[in-house]
Amino acid sequence: MNEIQKADPEARRRVVLVIVFGTAAGALLIAGFGYFRDVFHGWLTSDPAETAFRARLAIGVAAALLAAPLVGCAAYLWLLGAKVLRAQRFPPPGLGVVRDTPVVAGTAAVTRGHVMQVVAVCLGVSAAVLCLFFWRLIGTLGGTALIE
C-alpha cells in the first residue's frame, strides 16, 4: 500500500499568505511605476551629461530586480532536490504539503531530486544570461561606464 503524506494546514496558510502578499506587492509595484513614470523620466533626462549614466544605472537595477527571483527559486529548488536525494523520498521528511500527497521513494524519488537540481541549474543559468544581456545593453549606451 502506498504511503500518503497528509496535508499540513500551516503550509496551506503560508501558501495563501505568500500569494496574497505577492499579489499585493506586484499591484503596488505596477501602480508605483505608473505613478512615478513622469518623475523617473524627468530624473533620467534632467541632466544631459548624466543621462547615459542614469539610463545604465536604471537598466542595471532592472536586471538585478528581474534576476533576483530566478536566483532565489534556483536556490530553493537546489536545496529541496538535495533533501530529496538525501532522504530518497519525495516529499522529504519535514516538508509540509498543501494537499494529501503520495510518497514516492527509491529510484523515482532520486530521479525527482535530480530533476529539481537540473531545473535549479537552468534557472541559475537563465538569470546569468539575463544579466549578460542587460550588461551588453548597458555597454551599447556609451558614456562613462557604470562598473569598470
pLDDT in tens, 92-138: 998 999 999 999 999 999 999 999 999 999 999 999 999 999 999 88
How would residue 145 be classed by pLDDT, with cut points 50, 70 and 90?
very low
Instruction: Count CA atoms within 13 Å of residue 132 on its CB side.
Output: 6
- Check if the beta carbon of residue 137 is closer than 8 Å to that of residue 59: yes
Question: Hey, how many other C-beta atoms are within 10 angstroms of the C-beta on 91?
Answer: 19
Residue spans of the domains in the chain: they are 4-140
Radius of gyration (C-alpha) of the chain in whole angstroms: 22
Is residue 97 a contact partner of residue 11, using CB atoms and an 8 Å limit?
Answer: yes
User: What is the value of pTM for the model shown?
Assistant: 0.83
**Residue pair 91/31 in contact by the 8 Å Cβ criterion:** no
Q: Write down the residue that cell numbers 544570461 correspond to.
A: 129
When pLDDT is averaged across residues 13-33 and rounded to a whole number, the result is 95
Quick: pLDDT tens for 28-70: 999 998 999 999 999 988 988 888 888 889 999 999 999 999 9
Beta bridge partners of 5: 101
Neighbours of 49 (CB within 10 A): 8
> What confidence score (pLDDT) does residue 146 get?
47
Element (H, E) at 101: strand 101-102
